[in-house]
């Protein structure tokens, strides 16, 4: 309860008092002993004050949006029309998988910089009737001839971050196929109609996507096809400008009616191969045709009394789990989630976890990844002991063992099944290479390989690179939560902050998503980007500890953009939340209002 005698809001727990404390303060200010008051008046006063205190709490909450609640399904994405498309699929009897594919197809059109047919996909699916969790790794591999020696022969000494040599096989369509084959209910082709419609008829470009789009204009100009498709009239479309992409409508139509074969063996595959060949790339027909996404077992840790799940390497989710294990060695800070003590612990835990991930994580098919050791509570205790509570560590080393552009979205259907799913091109418009005649960019995930032959993430043909995109899931008792926060190397530390906000500071899912965050895209040094909603006093205290802070806007998209859904298996109620750092929303499914109702 906010103290009405203090006009300062925010999340400072020192300014929170209970309704009883308010009543005690009231009676302390009254003249004469409480026992001398009229009993009826005393009772009325108690009720009035209690009601006022509760009303004040609702009015002065420290977050902006309300949690969405419904007994039906919810689709939470970074674009309103994508959420609406997914919700419509739920209304037609579709599953969480069906709704996610439909929403993703729309996002392919409305956020072409972030995701699409040329990117990868990871997913965690929770099946409500069995309580079982499934993981899918639909990240693509490097072409067979893409090797360190090949790049060396071209005089390349560092891994390209754009262009055809940064391209890996797209995994998303095979990922959709495997998910739909197991849990889809509606016909495959029906799921792509919303995306095809918006590609053909156009959509008004949203605010944040315009900013990202415009920011990559120079990169798009390096490829004639990218410039033709994505820079109408020579520039990125403005906010609210109607943008059409008939080429991607054609590509989506091929996928809708021909299935995954269209991309891996058919007309789209031929277009990808021609595009690669014209630019001197190494992609072959067999690189595409032989690709298959992989079912994997999620990895987990416990944080306080919750269990948190991520996908195993080659993904980055293990960093979030190790960070939580380290944070668990410290009690929550009494002064709140964005107090100096709490933020210092989170920042230092992040550095320790990332030092390990950079040193040890790659594709487990090519090297042994020490997952068990990295997630050991004993190991976390040893790493936590390195944190100085008063000083920042700017030179973090890995422990000894025995920017980005992405789209995250989450769906819960009326049966309580949850899909936590993420899809990405990696950088803004990926490689900046657009497939000829197909209207979508190819990802640049190969840019995350290392050219150090001793690294577990060393480039090799048919190897998957280290991946930053990570869906997540957490549960305790009857509460089951699918969540994710996009943004390259920002993702694990954003996940850990969200979990701590919810578990340590008892925020609801919307408040936990909105809470001010910090990020560090460079990792391991002391330069931290932080939001301006963190108080000047906290920023000053962190600076004195040695953190070098760069203060961004109140809701900067540099912190990533998140979505979350929650299913309560006891009440059957679903909840959804959408990050205000994005253009999206959590949209609930509507019931069938045409069903006969009871007569009066």
Residues above pLDDT 90, as percent of the chain: 81
Concerning whether 406 is annotated as a catalytic residue, the answer is: yes
For 375-393, how does the pLDDT look when each residue is reduced to its tens digit (9 = 90+)? 999 999 999 999 999 999 9
pTM for this entry: 0.89
Per-residue buried b or exposed e for 252-266, using 16+ beta carbons within 10 Å of the residue's own CB: bbbbbeebbbbbbeb
**8 A C-beta contact, residue 550 and residue 529:** yes
Distance CA 582, CA 254 (A): 30
Domain assignment present for residue 184? The answer is no
Per-residue confidence (pLDDT) for residue 34, from 0 to 100: 42
The beta strands (E) that lie in 188-304 are given as 203-204, 242-243, 294-296, 299-303
Q: Work out the angle at residue 18's Cα, subtended by the Cα atoms of residues 17 and 20, and round it to the nearest 5 degrees.
A: 130
Distance CA 563, CA 412 (A): 12
Q: Which two tokens stand for residue 345?
A: 């612990």
Domain assignment present for residue 553? The answer is no
Would strands 548-552 and 527-531 be described as parallel, antiparallel, or unpaired?
Answer: parallel
CA separation, residue 468 to residues 221, 315, 445, 489 (Å): 26, 6, 9, 6
For 331-366, how does the pLDDT look when each residue is reduced to its tens digit (9 = 90+)? 999 999 999 999 999 999 999 999 898 888 889 999
Distance CA 311, CA 217 (A): 34
- pLDDT bin (cut points 50, 70, 90) of residue 6 is very low
- pLDDT bin (cut points 50, 70, 90) of residue 521 is low
What is the span of the domain harbouring residue 40?
13-59
| Coil, strand or helix at 537 | helix
Domain assignment present for residue 53? The answer is yes
| Coil, strand or helix at 525 | coil
Domain assignment present for residue 485? The answer is no
Domain assignment present for residue 38? The answer is yes
Domain assignment present for residue 22? The answer is yes
Name the nearest CA neighbour of 555 among 577, 533, 540, 537: 533
Q: Which residues pair with residue 481 across a beta bridge?
A: 474, 566
For 232-265, how does the pLDDT look when each residue is reduced to its tens digit (9 = 90+)? 999 999 999 999 999 999 999 999 999 999 999 9
Per-residue buried b or exposed e for 225-251, using 16+ beta carbons within 10 Å of the residue's own CB: bbbebbbeeeebbebeeebbbebbbbb
* Number of domains the chain contains: 1
For 403-429, how does the pLDDT look when each residue is reduced to its tens digit (9 = 90+)? 556 889 999 999 999 999 999 999 999
Q: Which of 70, 406, 468, 519 is catalytic?
A: 406
| Coil, strand or helix at 109 | helix
> Would you say residue 525 has pLDDT above 90?
no
Q: Which two tokens stand for residue 37?
A: 């008051």
DSSP 110: H
Q: Which two tokens stand for residue 125?
A: 């699916």
> Would you say residue 596 has pLDDT above 80?
no
Q: What is the dihedral of CA 446, 448, 453, 456, to 10 degrees?
A: -120
Per-residue confidence (pLDDT) for residue 367, from 0 to 100: 84
Per-residue confidence (pLDDT) for residue 489, from 0 to 100: 85
**8 A C-beta contact, residue 587 and residue 80:** yes
Q: Which residues pair with residue 479 across a beta bridge?
A: 476, 568
Per-residue confidence (pLDDT) for residue 38, from 0 to 100: 58
Domain assignment present for residue 50? The answer is yes
Per-residue confidence (pLDDT) for residue 431, from 0 to 100: 97
Q: Which two tokens stand for residue 560?
A: 């990533």
- pLDDT bin (cut points 50, 70, 90) of residue 30 is very low
| Residue position matching structure tokens 């047919």 | 117
Dihedral sign (CA 160, 552, 585, 201) = negative
C-alpha R_g of the chain: 25
Distance CA 122, CA 268 (A): 22
**8 A C-beta contact, residue 293 and residue 137:** yes
Domain assignment present for residue 36? The answer is yes
């Amino acid at each position: 309860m906010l103290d009405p005698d203090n006009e300062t809001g925010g999340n400072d727990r020192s300014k929170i008092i209970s309704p009883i404390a308010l009543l005690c303060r009231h009676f302390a200010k009254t003249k004469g002993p409480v026992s001398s008051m009229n009993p009826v008046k005393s009772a009325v006063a108690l009720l009035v004050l209690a009601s006022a205190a509760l009303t004040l709490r609702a009015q002065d909450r420290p977050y902006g949006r309300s949690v969405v609640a419904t007994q039906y399904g919810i689709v939470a994405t970074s674009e309103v029309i994508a959420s609406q498309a997914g919700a419509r699929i739920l209304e037609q009897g579709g599953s969480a998988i069906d709704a996610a594919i439909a929403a993703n197809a729309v996002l392919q059109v409305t956020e072409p910089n972030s995701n699409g047919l040329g990117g990868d996909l990871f997913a965690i699916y929770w099946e409500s009737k069995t309580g079982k969790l499934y993981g899918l790794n639909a990240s693509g591999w490097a072409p067979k001839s893409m090797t360190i020696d090949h790049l060396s022969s071209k005089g390349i000494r560092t891994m390209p971050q754009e262009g055809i040599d940064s391209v890996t096989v797209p995994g998303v369509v095979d990922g959709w196929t495997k998910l739909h084959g197991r849990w889809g209910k509606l016909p495959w082709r029906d799921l792509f109609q919303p995306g095809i419609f918006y590609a053909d008829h156009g959509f008004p470009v949203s605010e944040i996507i315009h900013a990202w789009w415009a920011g990559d204009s120079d990169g798009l100009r390096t490829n004639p096809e990218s410039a033709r498709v994505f820079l109408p009239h020579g520039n990125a479309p403005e906010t609210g400008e109607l943008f059409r992409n008939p080429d991607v409508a054609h590509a989506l139509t091929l996928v809708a009616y021909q299935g995954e074969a269209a991309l891996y063996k058919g007309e789209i595959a031929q277009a990808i191969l021609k595009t690669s060949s014209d630019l001197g790339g190494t992609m072959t027909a067999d690189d595409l045709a032989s690709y298959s996404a992989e079912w994997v077992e999620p990895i987990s840790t416990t944080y306080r009394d919750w269990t948190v799940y991520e996908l195993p390497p080659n993904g980055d989710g293990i960093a979030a789990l190790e960070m939580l294990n380290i944070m668990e060695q410290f009690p929550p800070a009494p002064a709140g989630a964005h107090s100096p003590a709490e933020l210092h612990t989170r920042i230092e835990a992040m550095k320790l976890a990332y030092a390990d991930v950079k040193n040890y994580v790659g594709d487990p098919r090519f090297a042994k990844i020490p997952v068990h050791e990295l997630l050991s509570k004993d190991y976390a205790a040893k790493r936590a002991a390195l944190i100085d509570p008063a000083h920042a560590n700017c030179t973090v080393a890995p422990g000894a063992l025995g920017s980005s552009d992405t789209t995250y979205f989450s769906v819960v259907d009326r049966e309580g099944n949850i899909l936590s799913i993420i899809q990405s091109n990696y950088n803004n418009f990926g490689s900046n290479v657009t497939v000829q005649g197909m209207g979508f960019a190819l990802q640049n995930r190969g840019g995350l390989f290392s050219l150090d032959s001793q690294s577990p993430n060393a480039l090799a043909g048919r190897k998957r690179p280290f991946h930053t995109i990570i869906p997540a899931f957490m549960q305790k008792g009857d509460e089951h939560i699918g969540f994710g926060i996009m943004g390259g190397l920002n993702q694990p530390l954003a996940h850990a902050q969200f979990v701590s906000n919810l578990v340590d500071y008892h925020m609801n899912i919307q408040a936990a998503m909105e809470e001010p965050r910090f990020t560090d895209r460079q990792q391991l040094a002391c330069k931290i980007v932080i939001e301006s909603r963190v108080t000047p006093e906290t920023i000053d205290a962190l600076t004195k500890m040695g953190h070098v802070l760069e203060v961004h806007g109140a809701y900067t998209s540099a912190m990533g953009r998140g979505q979350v859904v929650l299913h309560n298996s006891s009440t059957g109620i679903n909840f959804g939340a959408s990050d205000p750092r994005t253009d999206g929303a959590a949209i609930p499914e509507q019931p069938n209002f045409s069903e006969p109702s009871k007569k009066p």
